[in-house]
Each structure stands twice: as structure tokens, then as C-alpha cells.
Structure 1
């Protein structure tokens, strides 16, 4: 197994992002479903959001015992938003998680320098002309179109979370609402691309 490979684990296809200590960091190749980041419109961080509860509970429990034994728990650092200073919250112990802003800038081409050196005219989008944008585009499972997907990092304020824009892969560093959206039921249903560390 090498970085960049696609593998099948459980019923999903995963992309290998990193290999360390006999384990591979993998993320689903497609957006597997749509969910709100949290179930209430209030300040929240990854540590306490309903999406984390779902991924490490109901979603994780769908794996067989044999597959669960291959998923390594990890301590995730949840940094503050580098542009706006909104709180990233406590470190978390996760089996299943979303990538952070820093991780997506590392594993989908090296864009960390652009993150750390904000352009004077940059407000909402991280970097429209980032050559790595196209690497972040993901298709919604079972559909013929691309969709936007959540990261676990906080947006400009803590009722928002950072996301990847669907059509061109831009990073929405100001964030999207964790719950309130434009749908009739009020949800803001971003795409979910779970990530995990898989024992080799």
C-alpha cells in the first residue's frame, strides 16, 4: 500500500493519504452521505458536535468486529481557525473523524504556506487560485454531481465550520452554518467524507 492508492474497506472505496507506524490514514473517495454538523444552531466545536457523536457511534458500529479491530483510535488536535481565531476546542480521541483545515492543506497537495500567509484581499475563500483545489473535489455517492463537504475545523465563528466547496474544491475558511441552511427543513447538509487510521 502506498500514499495515493485506492483501497476497499468495508463497503466503501478509500484513498490513502498517509502511512505511519504500520497504519494508513484513509478517507472515503466519495461523499458517502449528507448531514448537518450539529443538531442545534449554537456555538460548538468538533469535540461536542452531533456529527462527531454519529461518526464514532452509529456509523462506527456498522463495521464488523473484525473491521473495528483494524481501526486505530487517534488523538486529534483541534486548532483554532488561523484567520479568525475561533476556538477549535479540546483534543479528541476518535475512531472516525473529519479532516481538519490543516490536514486538508497537507494531504491534498501542499497548501500550508497559503494558509499561513493570508493574502490581503482574502476574506471568505482560502485561495481561489490554489493549484490544489481540483484535488479536493468529491462526488456525492450514487449521484452524477459533486457536492460540498465538511471539515472538522471551526469557521469564522463557532456556529460555522470550514468546508470544501463542491464545484471547484475551494476551501470555505469562513465556514458554513452548522445547522441552518436553505433547505425547507432548515438543515445545512454538508457532505461527509469519513477518515480513519487503518492498521496494515
Structure 2
């Protein structure tokens, strides 16, 4: 049986969820948060292109895959739109093999369509999207058996903040500090306040490998 969007597959010893499936390639997001890490190593204004997390994903994280697996991980050009609630400017496109989802991708494309909440902001929507958003449950993720928040690549209210998905699935459109240090919210098992990371990537589908074993 062929795979379809929403299926879970193993790639490189990691469990992934298929977000988009095209003739020769598919987009995958890790099913769970893989690790905690700051968006950037210092609390300064930064873009996705220059942040230390992007550098880590393209070096240390990518190096965990075999030569054969790396050959199937595709380079893609990602658009990096500004944050519409805070007047953020569109950032430079990036060429990525491993990346974080954007605000638009998280809101409109891969977890149901919550576009109205993004495009028609209500007076009550100062920080997070509405908790009654039915798509929140689709964005939830866990790390070390506990719900935790995870980064997206779009900037928050300014360049010192990056957007995130809250532990309950809400969109943290205002963002968390790129180097989040002083907070009372820490992971109960790790003792760390750092955001979770769910890498995404497009991989090539070869004819012989078109039918993966589903998990």
C-alpha cells in the first residue's frame, strides 16, 4: 500500500510524519520533538538565515544520516515571510536541506487551515491564537513524554523573538526570546527552558522505494 499524507515512516532511525506527498518527493516533519535548543546562541536580533539553530541542523543534525540517506535529502528554497501581526519585513529566501516550518505553513497548510485567525485578528488575539482553534490539537508535540513548545522559523514581535507552537498547540505568534534563559517554565524532566525542535525536510522518492513500510 502506498503512503499518504499523515502516515508515519521511519527515516534515519527517526519517526517522521508525511506532510506533503508529490510524485518524486515528500515533505516530512518529525513526529515528536527531537531535542531542546535555543533558536540562537545569543539574545540578539537574528534571522532564520543567520541563526545558530539553522547552522546546527545543516551540520551536526544532517551528519547523523548515512551517505545514502543524505543523497535523498533535497535542497529547497524557502520563503521567509515577515510576521503579519507585528509588521515584520520579509526576510531573505534560504536554501535549506533541513529546516523549521514557517508561520504560514503551520497555520494554513499542514495542520488544517486556521487562516482566518491569522488574517482577521480579533481584539482578544494579542499573543496566542484562540484556545478554541480546533486545529491546535494537530500541532501538539511531546518531548521526553511531556507536552512541550517547539520553534517555527518565522520571527516573532521583533528580531529578538522567534515564533513557536505552544504545548497546547496554540500559535505563539509574538514569539519567545531566541535565547530563552530567564523563565519559570521549564521542562519537568530536562530542567531546561529551551524550545523544542521538530526538523522538517523534503526527501526524494525513488521508484524502488515508493512504497515505504508504514509505522
Pairs aligned (count): 195
In the superposition, relative to structure 1, how do residues 114 and 2 fare at CA in structure 2: closer, same or farther (>3 Å)?
same
In the superposition, relative to structure 1, how do residues 183 and 175 fare at CA in structure 2: closer, same or farther (>3 Å)?
closer
Contact 1:178 1:188 in 2 (8 A): no
Correspondence 1:121 to 2:124? yes
Task: Report what 1:97 is aligned to.
Answer: 99
In the superposition, relative to structure 1, how do residues 36 and 88 fare at CA in structure 2: closer, same or farther (>3 Å)?
farther
**CA offset digits 1:43-75 (Å, max 9, x no partner):** 111010000000011111111110001111100
Please state how far the C-alpha of 1:145 moved relative to its aligned partner. Answer: 0.8
Contact 1:160 1:175 in 2 (8 A): yes
Contact 1:74 1:94 in 2 (8 A): yes
Q: What is the SS of the residue equivalent to 2:142?
A: coil
For normalisation by structure 2, the TM-score amounts to: 0.87
Contact 1:179 1:188 in 2 (8 A): no
Task: Report what 1:109 is aligned to.
Answer: 112
In 2: Cα distance, 1:183 partner to 1:172 partner: 16
**Structure 1: 5+ residue stretches without partners:** none
**Structure 2: 5+ residue stretches without partners:** 185-191, 206-215
**CA offset digits 1:82-139 (Å, max 9, x no partner):** 1101234210000000000100112011112221111122110022221100111111
In 2: Cα distance, 1:127 partner to 1:183 partner: 23
In 1: Cα distance, 2:44 partner to 2:91 partner: 14
Q: What is the SS of the residue equivalent to 1:91?
A: strand
Q: What is the SS of the residue equivalent to 2:116?
A: helix
Alignment of 1:183-198 (within 5 A): 189-198=194-203
Task: Report what 1:79 is aligned to.
Answer: 81
In 1: Cα distance, 2:50 partner to 2:160 partner: 12
In the superposition, relative to structure 1, how do residues 192 and 33 fare at CA in structure 2: closer, same or farther (>3 Å)?
same
In 1: Cα distance, 2:11 partner to 2:147 partner: 22
In 2: Cα distance, 1:159 partner to 1:188 partner: 16
Contact 1:81 1:156 in 2 (8 A): yes
| Bigger Cα Rg | 2
In the superposition, relative to structure 1, how do residues 79 and 188 fare at CA in structure 2: closer, same or farther (>3 Å)?
farther
In the superposition, relative to structure 1, how do residues 88 and 57 fare at CA in structure 2: closer, same or farther (>3 Å)?
farther
